[in-house]
Amino acid sequence: MSETNVKGSTMKRPSLLSRHIPRRTFLAGVGTTAAGTLLRPLFASAAGASPTRLLIVHRPCGTYPVDFFPQTGDATNFTLPSILQPFTPVKDQMTILNGIYCPRDHGWAGDQHGAGLITMMSGKRPIEIPGTSSGGDPNAKNQQAAGLSFDQMMVKTAASGLGGTAVPSIQSTAYRPSSIGLPNFKVMSYDASGALFPESRPDTLFNNVFGASMPGLSAADLERLRTQNKSILDFVSKDLTRLRGLVPKSQLPKLDAHLDGLTSLQAKLTATVPSGGGAPACKGPAQATPPAQTGDLTIDEAQHKVVAQNQMAIILAAFQCDLTRVATFSFAHGNSALRFMKIIPGFDQTNGAGHHDLSHQMDRTDLHSLVDQFYSQQLVTMLQAMKATPDGAGTLLDNTLVVYLNECCYGWSHSIENMPLLMFGGKNLKLQTGRHLKFNMRYMNDVWAAVATAMGVPMNTYGDTAFSTGAVSGVFG
Amino acid sequence: MTRFGIYASAVALAAAGCTGTVGGTGVSTGTNTGTGTGSAGSTGITTGSAGTTGVATGTGGASAATCAASASLAPARIWRLTDAEYVNVVAQVFGVRVPAEVTEADTKPADFSNFSEAPALTAQSATVTAYQRAAHAAATAAVGANLGIFLPCGKAPTDACVQGFIRNRVARAFGRLVTDGEVQDLLAMYHTGLAESVAAGARMIIEATLQSPSFLYRTELGPQAAGGPTGKVKLTPFELAAAVSFALLDSVPDDELWGHAVDGTLATPAVLAKQVDRLLATPAAQANLGKQAGFWLGVEKLQSIVPKSATLFPAWTPAVQQDLYDSARLFVQDLMGTGTMGDLLSSRRMFLNANLAKVYGIPGVTSTDLQPVDVQAPGRASGIFTQPAILAAWSHPDRGDAVHRGLFIYNAFVCGPTIPPPPPNAQTVAATFPADATQRELATLRATNAAGCGACHALFDPLGLSTENYDPIGRYTTTDEKGQPVDSSATLRGLGPDLDGPISGLPDVVAKLKGGRRATDCASRNLAAIVLGRSVATDTSCAFQDVKDHFAQTGSFAEYFHAMLTSPGFATRDVAP
């Protein structure tokens, strides 16, 4: 509280009863540090069926393509360059897409990172947030997607089988500034209501996903909790209905929005625990305690790696428990100020530039590629965990399509040609893995159209038709 | 979760431009007429960063002759609690202080954002989920600490005991009496929890309370009417008590104020006036008003600046920045309690400890705590303007910033025509200026270049130049960045006859501001946004006109809040047809 910041203030505490709750105690109620095993999935689909999941991961600030794309060999026989080397353990479940263009014109107004991310995800030219102005900023930071992002379109399209879960989808990041302010270069997912900001705090994300399901509780305790929550939320609903009948028309949108949130919360907290066996065990996410901010490290720098792993572990657990089937995760946004000299061992200690600034240093591609390699290492940890998680007849990685993208190609020029693009897993979609696939200038929209088609939503063009030339072939068998 | 920094009004205002021919005082229409809708209520006070709009249109608003006689000071509405308010109410009603981040990360905004119609105050799905978690944690902690206080009737509380808890505590959280139906529902819930324990039953009652819209939304709707109120309504005594209490304390009514709501006596003007004065005199109210006024006065801006260059300003440390922030908070808080506009504009008071005194060259301060000192050193006689916190807040990390210092003075005390955002080519034009140009040279380039920057900058750059005697960390200096003697003279133009003309520095600006109603009227507007949760830039009510007149006569901040909260227009709400 702010008043305690004022030294010498005579302000009294508001109540004699006041008692500070240590943050640890506050969080303990949701079991954020627990990695307990649930007796059975909370919201499992019919036993035996293994749904397809979609995970889209974003790392920012472009890349140095020479260190990203294999420079020799052919489609199946190639050597992984430095950035991709960490993916060696999953090389046979990886597809490199070479020659995919960001579906936009370089001349479009707007922050290049923002336009890139929005366009990669939505396939259309960004629009200004209704009711806002660019404020004269040539980077026009007040932009958002013109429609649904690909992940949200899949959630909303019944044929994909990706919707209908207790938690419709997850949006997360490992960089606090990505969660606040204008959506522009920070937000991957857009639904009909606009930007879905990614959550940067693992404890909050945990609760948003798992609610009070509390991995680790016994079946009897879970059932009691469900009964209690139902009783509480029934009262809250009744109160909302009462108030709704008393407000003037101008105030209804506030309560309608609240009702939407409450409906989704009710579904999450009171869903019936399925009886009968057959589904594999569903585990709560392993969560490490992020280190505290120290010295001149920002809180994000100190915590980036652990938070990234925690966020991905939550996604993994949510997939495994079938709480959700769609997630987007952004390591950080395109103007990331993370100083990797502080967090990557062996990094050139004289280069104090943040990630974005570093990406503009044409003479330090060596360092920029080290950052990309760091992100490969972070992602491969998640991929290997998915690979080790049984799911249906195979593994969670088999049943998940992981798309790993960036908002530009060359970081220093914000180039939009030949985007660094990878896919992993997707065995149930017949993703042609272990390949280095070369395309002759095809748009990301054509890739999304192929993904949708593979997921049971036949599609020839996705996004802006001026930036679509039909679904690419050869990615899915 | 989202807080957009760029608002609707900018759209149309950008087109209006600074013509240089805009009037000064008096009724000012036109620039806002027929402009975009959308985020109404999102404008209002800002502390003047480029790209956001400040207080719109001229200083006058309505004059006594033209004001709307019966208009209320706010529309009928519901208003979601801020996270800070949530924390305050939980502490007051249930006796536990929960972490500040109830629904969203605490980002220390520079601008006041608690507008009842702000998009950020519309709950998103994640917000509702966050409330569930916060309620569960707070209720668990409250029961753990205070169960014996909530249910002081042995190990097996009777239903009557539980009902007493509901009628006392839940009512206070809701800001109204609970209905018999609600009591029965909550009692039934208690019995559900009793299957686990007494504590679980009590926890569930609190958990439900803290997630209920009756708690999460303050209502200003008047007596209950199916389908909502119409026309004009009078706030119920409970709503009036809450409106007064949230304005002054950012929390629900205390026992005495609540008592006057329960027995209905708060509707009596004399009772209301006495309650307002009682609360205004409390340190808690002064601390809260000081915090809120800090958004208007640039204090909060200091929380989000880029740190000053360690090379150029080794004296600037995180400790200095924190002390400066606290110092400015205390300065403003002090004035909100017992001070006047005159003090705000020309007090010599600073709150200093030994460390700050050393950095700013003030002799004779040895305390480690911040103490009030009436500073006799040169350049510290202009109140808020010469608080180093504010000067540092409106400076670049490595150089001065006449633009934003000027905009700050303009938005906080001049309330001239709205400054539109810079045009798209602004950065391109600025890039052509010499890299080593001084603030004065830059101002001249902006005023004279062919691109026409001067059309707007001429309104506020000269105000900024009057602060040239203060370096980027707010130290008083008589030499500029090139080692030349500081020239803080300028000529104010386009602001109105009360302000236009030559000035030789900050004291001249202050003298002009103190010479008429300009600054008090502008202050009235900025403070009204805080109290009412809406921009009054286009308000034409006689109620607000009366408040402005009263403040102009007395200059006392306590009188301002008294006038506002006891105004007939504060006790009613209008419903848009």
Q: What is the ipTM of this complex?
A: 0.88
Q: Do B212 and A264 touch (CB under 8 A)?
A: no
- Residue pair B411/B47 in contact (Cβ under 8 Å)? The answer is yes
Q: Do A135 and B283 touch (CB under 8 A)?
A: no
Cα separation of A287 and A425, whole Å?
A: 24
Nearest to B128 by CA among B36, B248, B212: B212
Q: What is the mean pLDDT of chain B?
A: 88
> What is the structure's pLDDT at A425?
96
- Residue pair B133/B102 in contact (Cβ under 8 Å)? The answer is no
Lowest model confidence (mean pLDDT) among A2-11, B329-338, B548-557: A2-11
pLDDT in tens, B398-421: 999 999 999 999 999 999 998 987
> What is the structure's pLDDT at A223?
80
Predicted structure pTM score: 0.72
* Highest mean pLDDT out of B34-48, B177-191, B481-495: B177-191
A81-112 as b/e: b if 16+ CB within 10 A: bbbbebbeebeebbbbbbbbbbbbeeebebbb
Q: A21: which chain B residues are within 8 Å (Cβ-Cβ)?
A: 96-99, 137-138, 141
Q: Is A268 on the interface with B (CB under 8 A)?
A: yes
Q: Do B97 and A269 touch (CB under 8 A)?
A: no
pLDDT band at B32 (very low <50, low <70, confident <90, very high): very low
Q: Is B228 on the interface with A (CB under 8 A)?
A: yes
Q: Is A260 on the interface with B (CB under 8 A)?
A: yes
> What is the structure's pLDDT at B65?
61
Structure tokens at B179: 């209905």
B127, B128, B235, B324: best to mutate for the A interface, most A CBs within 10 A: B128
Q: Is A228 on the interface with B (CB under 8 A)?
A: yes
Lowest model confidence (mean pLDDT) among A178-182, A452-456, B17-21, B365-369: B17-21
Contacts 24+ apart (CB under 8 A), B364-371: B369/A7, B369/A8, B370/A7, B370/A8, B370/B323, B370/B326, B370/B327, B370/B330, B371/A8
The whole-number average pLDDT for the span B15-30 is 36
> What is the structure's pLDDT at A378?
97
Q: How far is CA A312 from the centre of its chain?
A: 8
pLDDT above 70 for B3: no
Q: Do A20 and B97 touch (CB under 8 A)?
A: yes
Nearest to B573 by CA among A251, A258, A254, A259: A251
Tell me the Ramachandran region of residue B30: left when phi exceeds 0, alpha when psi lies from -120 to 50, beta otherwise. left
In this structure, the number of other CB atoms found within 10 A of the CB of residue B71 comes to 18
Tell me the backbone φ, ψ of residue A190, rounded to 5 degrees: -130, 130
Q: Do B3 and A224 touch (CB under 8 A)?
A: no
Name the amino acid, one letter, at B379.
Answer: G
Name the amino acid, one letter, at B200.
Answer: A
pLDDT in tens, B65-77: 689 999 999 999 9
Distances from the Cα of A440 to the Cα of A47, A447, A452, A469, A476, angstroms: 43, 13, 21, 12, 17
Q: Crossing angle, helix A219-244 and helix A252-270, to 10 degrees?
A: 170
Sole residue written with tokens 């004279």: B448
Name the amino acid, one letter, at A334.
Answer: G
Burial of residue A273 (CB within 10 Å: 0-12, 13-18, 19+) is: middle
Burial of residue A275 (CB within 10 Å: 0-12, 13-18, 19+) is: exposed
Cα separation of B515 and B492, whole Å?
A: 15
Q: B218: which chain A residues are within 8 Å (Cβ-Cβ)?
A: none
Cα separation of B81 and B218, whole Å?
A: 7
- Residue pair A358/A340 in contact (Cβ under 8 Å)? The answer is yes
What residues contact B378, with CB distance under 8 A and at least 6 apart? B476
Tell me the backbone φ, ψ of residue A402, rounded to 5 degrees: -105, 120
- Residue pair B351/A8 in contact (Cβ under 8 Å)? The answer is yes
Q: Do B212 and A236 touch (CB under 8 A)?
A: yes
Q: Report the SS3 class of residue A383.
A: helix
Q: Which of residues 118-177 of A touch B (CB under 8 A)?
A: 129-138, 141-142, 176
pLDDT in tens, A199-257: 998 888 887 787 655 555 667 777 888 889 999 999 999 999 999 999 999 999 999 99
Q: A235: which chain B residues are within 8 Å (Cβ-Cβ)?
A: 185-186, 189, 208, 212
Q: Do B207 and A232 touch (CB under 8 A)?
A: yes
Q: What is the dihedral of CA B547, B258, B96, B140, to 10 degrees?
A: -130
Contacts 24+ apart (CB under 8 A), B367-376: B369/A7, B369/A8, B370/A7, B370/A8, B370/B323, B370/B326, B370/B327, B370/B330, B371/A8, B372/B330, B372/B334, B373/B349, B374/B348, B374/B349, B375/B348, B375/B349, B375/B350, B376/B348
Distances from the Cα of B160 to the Cα of A70, B26, B152, B166, B191, angstroms: 76, 62, 11, 10, 13
DSSP string, B113-132: ---TT-GGGSPPHHHHHHHH
> What is the structure's pLDDT at A169?
93
Cα separation of A175 and B69, whole Å?
A: 52
In this structure, the number of other CB atoms found within 10 A of the CB of residue A262 comes to 23
3-class SS shares of chain A: helix, strand, coil, % to 5? 40, 15, 50
Helix residue ranges, H only, B37-117: 83-94
pLDDT above 70 for B139: yes
B210 HSE (CA, 13 A, CB side): 34
Report which of residues B423 and A104 the model is more confident about. Answer: A104
Name the amino acid, one letter, at A421.
Answer: L
Cα separation of A272 and A226, whole Å?
A: 8
Nearest to A18 by CA among B90, B109, B369: B90
Structure tokens at A185: 């270069």
pLDDT above 90 for B424: no
Cα separation of B272 and B66, whole Å?
A: 28
Minimal Cα distance from A295: which residue of B?
B318
Burial of residue B355 (CB within 10 Å: 0-12, 13-18, 19+) is: middle
- Alpha-carbon gap: A95 to the closest alpha carbon of chain B (Å): 34
What residues contact B431, with CB distance under 8 A and at least 6 apart? none
Q: Is B230 on the interface with A (CB under 8 A)?
A: yes
Cα separation of A28 and A466, whole Å?
A: 52
> What is the structure's pLDDT at A211?
61
Cα separation of B137 and A30, whole Å?
A: 9
- Alpha-carbon gap: B20 to the closest alpha carbon of chain A (Å): 19
Q: Do B91 and A251 touch (CB under 8 A)?
A: no
- Alpha-carbon gap: A197 to the closest alpha carbon of chain B (Å): 7
User: To 5 degrees, how large is the angle CA A411–CA A415–CA A420?
Assistant: 70
Q: B101: which chain A residues are within 8 Å (Cβ-Cβ)?
A: 201
Distances from the Cα of A20 to the Cα of A264, B99, B169, B220, angstroms: 31, 8, 20, 31
Name the amino acid, one letter, at B124.
Answer: Q
The whole-number average pLDDT for the span B515-539 is 95
Q: Could you say which residues of chain A have pLDDT below 70?
A: 1-49, 109, 131-138, 211-218, 270-281
Sole residue written with tokens 């930036």: A467
Tell me the Ramachandran region of residue B346: left when phi exceeds 0, alpha when psi lies from -120 to 50, beta otherwise. alpha
pLDDT above 80 for B41: no
Q: Which of residues 29-68 of B touch A (CB under 8 A)?
A: 36-39, 50-52
Sole residue written with tokens 């902006």: B446
Q: Do A136 and B423 touch (CB under 8 A)?
A: yes
pLDDT above 80 for B47: no
Partner residue facing A14 (CB), from B92, B123, B216: B92
A165, A246, A324: best to mutate for the B interface, most B CBs within 10 A: A246
Task: Give me the count of residues in chain B.
Answer: 577
Q: Do A6 and B330 touch (CB under 8 A)?
A: yes
Q: Is A220 on the interface with B (CB under 8 A)?
A: no
